[in-house]
Every structure is written in structure tokens, then in C-alpha cells.
Structure 1
């Protein structure tokens, strides 16, 4: 045994050194050629620039964003690096990570900055508006093109960012400051939770604007975008606790973690990607197959439509009750969306094979939703229905499946501003605490 044992150790040692050297070489190759080793499908999912280049090369995409061609490339590079990542947030589950850039700026306090952004905590000498919603409120585009930023410009009568379409005199005797609390995939229940938490912390606006409707339809089942992540994390956590509490000696081997470790090594990743390229499996993704697998493409049943309307009205009433106790006002805006009263032949960013990625559900739920909202006891004072503002318009209003062009965001902001100006008590009536 003494004869072959040292030789076996030397062989195993050399094998490990060779494996480490190959991984180091693979890491260097991947670093030098990053784009080659990412599938086209992955690049299209995480880099909007690749998506636009693949399907909309002949379209004036920069105009949709209200940017020059050079600015659009800078913007796309910035958001691809940030990837709209989430951080944990109390009660409402998540918020966007704080970020400082040229086109995307997110405060550590959970809101996206706009042109002429007010301080935090809000200055009680200003008329402060909290703007809640999903990704259409957060805005896919530069900070200053968001609905919230445009709304502040129109109500404040100034333009700290880009020029207004038509300058206004300041309509109020105090500065107006908007805080954009829009977050990707948020629906009314999460917006309500966030609003209530802000009130509990003493951050009370004069007016809370809830810009929503679309995500309540898409997420008719009532689950948040990160529900699966939390569910799996809790399952894994308690599974581990249970095993360790019973007997560590009887704990199951975590083979999946061993597999995750090896599959993350540069050598295996390089081999997998080379195999994909050699097999010719790096073509454009099968959009029809993606659409078939998308769980949100299932039409809503009658009961689900009624559930969407009931949930939205209940959340409105809860928000109004919380606002009344805190001394502020609410305005609920039913947003326009491409699935309802819009000619999709005008939707230049629409890929027919992929559809609207589940946003079609709004076409199922909006007729009933509008009817129920119009009959609500608070409709006259606190509801603005913009779901039909695109009806009959023969122009492109969207820059992807559901997010508004910079031009359309400006029009929406103008509609909301006109409504508030016609009812100045919405802002002046709020008794904000200092």
C-alpha cells in the first residue's frame, strides 16, 4: 500500500491543480468575451437594448423615451446595470434599491427622484403629494419623464428638468413637491400597506395619488411579485431548522447545493455555453412558447373579475379612512392600458407573437371595474377615470408591452393636474403634520 498511496495523492493533487487552472482560464475567457457567452434569450430579457435591436431596429425608440439616440444608449446601459433590483421593505415586501445615476435615481427612503425633487422628510411649507402605483408610476424612462415628475412641473408652474410643453404660472401660493413611490408590479394592496406605513411614521402628505388598475387585473390572484421567493425561503429555512432540531446526524445531504456550486464554476459555465453555440441553440427565443407558459395569460373568470373590483374598492375605502384620520386627501386614478380601448395596430412596440405579457387581463376586468368605481360613494370627490383617454388615438403611446412613452406620460400628468386644479381643495384641504 505504501507504494501506490503517495502516487495517488500526487495524481489527485495534480488533478485538482489542473481543474483549478482550467477554471481560471475559463474565467478569463468569459471576462474577455462576456457577450458571446450569454444566450440571446437572456440578453433580450435583461438588456432592453438587445430587445429593441432585435425587433424594433427601424423604429425611433429614442423618441419614445423623449431622449436623443446617444442619451438612449446611456440610459439603457444604466438600467441594465441596475436591473431594477429590489430591497426588502416592511409590510409592502420590497422596494427598489437605492441608486444614483444620470437617468435613474432612487432614494434610500424608497421613492424615485424627479426633476426639482423635494427633501425628505417633506417640507411642511410645501404642498406635498405622494404618488403610488406600479412600474407605470415608477416609470420606464428617465427620472424627469415620469408622470410624478411631470405632475409636479405642471402644478408647481416651473420646470427644473426638461422644458414643459406649455409653461404655467404657479397655480398655488406654495411650492408643490411630488414623491414617486411607484414600484414595479405593485398593486393596490401593496400601495395601501406602503401608504399606511408612511402615515404611521409621521410622513403625511397633503394628497396621496394612487395611479393603478392594471396590476390589480394582472395579479388578480392576489399574490405579490416576490411571493414565490418568500415562500421558498421560508420552506428552506424551516426545513433546515427541523432537521437540525431533530438530529444533525440524520440531516439530509444538500445535493442541490453541491450541484449549484459546481454549475457556478467558470469551466462548467463555459462548457455549457459552448455546447449551446455548437448545437445552434442560440437563436431568438420562441415567443409563442413563452406566451403559452406565461401564467398571467390565462383569461380572468367572472368570479376573478368581481374579485378584482371588490379588492380595489375595499382598498380605496381603507386608504380614505387612513387619510381622514391623518388629515390628508386621496385621489384614485384608473390608469389607461394597451389592452383596453386602444388600437394595437398603433402599438409600435407590440410583438404580436408574445402578446402583452399578461396585461390582456385588463381587457377582461376593466368594464366591470369602471362600472363599480363609477357607483362608489367616493367617486365624485376622489376618483379620476383615465382608462378611456387613449380611445380613438391613432398613434403610438407605449414603449414596450405596457409602459407609456414620455409623451403619453406627460399627457397623463396633464390630465391629473387639470383635475387637481379644478378641485384645489384636494391639495389645500390637507392638514399635513409638520
Structure 2
């Protein structure tokens, strides 16, 4: 038994490593990046910088681990964002802008200087707007986690002039994966180790980690959410809009401005590459119904938003890649730097409309 476990563990470690290496090469050669060798180096670094599960953090459940690399740098849980040297030296920069979201905003697929917040910062400077931009996004964050992170900053008296919330996709993923809306990814695992179930959970976790059990049971088949699409999309949208309402209420009290964006998704890209088609199928296999759930959230947004907020405040970006033929996505949920460029152009234009310099 012991010898079999040791041999099987070594086998699965090699097999998992080979699978990761294969995925890294596939992303690097997806057509999204001009330099495949550089991209492969980036994705190897990304695996080190953003391991799963993330370190534990009070209230929010997780935080980004600190990391120093060639492409990715995280300090005290915050990803490095491009800001002009003049603005970094100027403590009285005109605008203080916070960004909150999940992995797409954090920049899974992009170098530090080419995340959405970094590109927005560059565009603002080019258009005469002095701003200090901070990227508080965390991989796998649902909007409630982003909201709590924001509240923790406000508690420190760290109040922005403008806050940008970018997401929605992880809310759909979490609702589909966990079987209920409004909870962080992995909540079902945490529930298993509540005090009354702790002993049983410890045993089950140990058993699941045995290589022999993995051999006998094989990979778990995803349950998905195809049978609960309407209920879960309603619930996820309720939670999302409830968070928007709460942030809007705080903004009136503390006098900061807000922008909200519902992010795009690969299924909305009409002209997909062969690689992108494969990634879409892979994600749907991982979590059946997830794409449909997010599409339902989007289709219900305008009516539910007006019912909840009495006005439309969420910018829906789901069509931003719809007619783009060139490669955009590096996997089923994340885009490369060209995708970030297109999105940042839209967000920067919205910010400029709020803070256009006087002629």
C-alpha cells in the first residue's frame, strides 16, 4: 500500500507537471502574442506568482501572494501598476483612482505595464489627466470580495476620487460551481471544515489527496449548472446589483465617483480562432452551463438594473470583441494585452468624459 502510494504520487506529480507545461506552451502559441518564447516565460512566471489556493486573508477569504519577477510584481497583495514617474513623485496628483475586480483586471495574461489599469493610466496621462492608479484586483474575486476589499481601504481613510469595478464573470462562475449565488469560489470546501464537521473533513481531505484514491476514482466529473440557469442567474445578478447599489450609496456619502463594467466573455466573440473555439469547449466541459448562466445575467441586466437602482450605471462590455477576428483570448476566460488595450480605451474615454481638462 505504502509503496503503491509513493509510486503513484510520483507518477501524478510528473503527469500534472507535464499537463501544466503543455498548457503553458498552448497559451504562448495561441496567436495572441507576437513573441511565443517571451509569452512562455511569462506564463511560467504566472504559475509561480498566482498559485491556487491563494494565502488566507480575513474577511475576503484570500489575498494575492507577494511576488517579484520579470513580468509580474505584487507587493503587499497589490499588483504593480504603471504610473508616470512625475505622478509617483507628486503626492498631490489630481486624481486617485482605484480598480477592483478579478483575474482579468488583475492581468492574468499580461505584463505589469499592460494590465487594464496600467493602460488606462497611460491613456489618461496622454490626454492631460494627472492620476495615481492602483490595481486592487485579486484573482478569482467575486464582486462581494471586491466590495469588502474596498470597504477595508475606506476604513483606513484611503478614499479615492474615482473607483472602477470590473467583473461579473467570476460571479457567474462561482454561482455555477458552488451551486448558489453570492459566495466566493471554494466556499463549499470551507463549509466542510466548520467546527461540527472538522474531524470528518480532515479525514475526507486526507483520503482525497491520496494518489491511490485518485487512481481508483479518476477525475471528478463537473456537475455544472445547466438545470438551475434561471434561478442562479437571477440570484447572481441580485447580488451583483446589490453590491453596485451599496457602492453607489457610499459614494454619495464620501463624495467619490464610480464606474461599473460587466466584462466580456469568449462566447460573445463572433469570429473566434480555432484555438479560441477549443478553449471555449474546454471551459464548458470543465463547468457545463457557465457560459449560458453569464449570458442570462447579461440579458437580464438592463431591466433588473433599473428596478434595483432606478437608473442604468453598469457599462456592458460583452460586445467589445464581438467583431474582432484576430486572436484575443489566451484561454476560456482571459485575454492578452491586445484585449486589455481595447477595454482600457473604453474605460479611459469614460474617465475623460468625467474629468476632461479645461481648454
User: Would you call these one fold, judging by a TM-score over 0.5?
Assistant: yes
| Offset at residue 136 of structure 1 (A) | 0.8
TM-score scaled to structure 1, two decimals?
0.67
User: How many residues are paired up?
Assistant: 338
**8 Å CA contact 1:96, 1:183 repeated in 2:** yes
Q: 1:324 to 1:348 in 2, by over 3 A?
A: same
1:304 equivalent to 2:235? Answer no
Q: Give the 5 Å matches for 1:5-404.
A: 38-41=13-16, 43-44=18-19, 47=20, 49-53=21-25, 56=26, 60-61=29-30, 64=32, 66=33, 68-85=35-52, 86-108=54-76, 110-116=77-83, 123-141=91-109, 142-157=111-126, 170-172=127-129, 175-220=130-175, 221=180, 222-235=182-195, 239=198, 293-298=221-226, 300-339=228-267, 341-343=268-270, 345-346=272-273, 348-351=275-278, 353-356=281-284, 357-358=286-287, 359-360=290-291, 361-373=293-305, 376-379=309-312, 382-404=313-335
Q: Matched residue of 1:295: which SS?
A: coil
Gaps of 5+ in 1: 1-18, 158-169, 241-251, 264-268, 429-434
Over the aligned positions, Cα root-mean-square deviation in angstroms equals 3.8
**8 Å CA contact 1:131, 1:208 repeated in 2:** yes
**8 Å CA contact 1:99, 1:105 repeated in 2:** yes
Task: Select the structure that is richer in helix.
Answer: 2
From the CA coordinates, give the structure whose radius of gyration is larger. Answer: 1
Cα distance in 1, alignment partners of residues 44 and 38 from structure 2: 10
Cα distance in 2, alignment partners of residues 42 and 374 from structure 1: 48
Cα distance in 2, alignment partners of residues 354 and 315 from structure 1: 31
Q: Matched residue of 1:89: which SS?
A: coil
Q: Matched residue of 1:129: which SS?
A: strand
Cα distance in 1, alignment partners of residues 71 and 56 from structure 2: 23
Cα distance in 1, alignment partners of residues 318 and 105 from structure 2: 15
Cα distance in 2, alignment partners of residues 378 and 116 from structure 1: 33
- Post-superposition Cα deviations, 1:269-291, rounded to whole Å, max 9, x if no partner, equal 7xx7xxx8xxxx9xxxx9xx76x
Gaps of 5+ in 2: none
